[in-house]
Structure 1
């Protein structure tokens, strides 16, 4: 029986018992994919945005850490191009 075939009279007379309705119930061994709700989608969007922000911060840090150092123009600091 489909949902649209029920009317209010059938529900009140006991023909349909909502407690015995197992259409939306899930068993322990059920292997179907879980339903994705809007709440879950929004949480995933926030997680993705946070992950992208952390990635950008990490890239900035790595650029400073492993970047080519600025040449300050010499001084006493070795490696002046003399062959050994």
Structure 2
């Protein structure tokens, strides 16, 4: 482990309140000598590396805009309530 990094990605409101999401990620060295990045931080699908918004917020913003919603942001076909998760 090389060190740590703290990120504060924005997320959806919760009951009209803004949540403060703080993630203390670990920073790692790459063991491959030919790696151009040399180091990297942890990431998860909901918050990719370098993201300032969570995937939930990005998808919600896409649904509200005039732009088409990417397939990855659409609710599953088996959703109990269409259009809601």
Q: TM-score, with normalisation over the residues of structure 1?
A: 0.21
> Which of the pair has more CA radius of gyration?
1
* Greater per-residue strand proportion: 2
Q: Which has the higher contact order (CA 8 A, sep 6+)?
A: 2
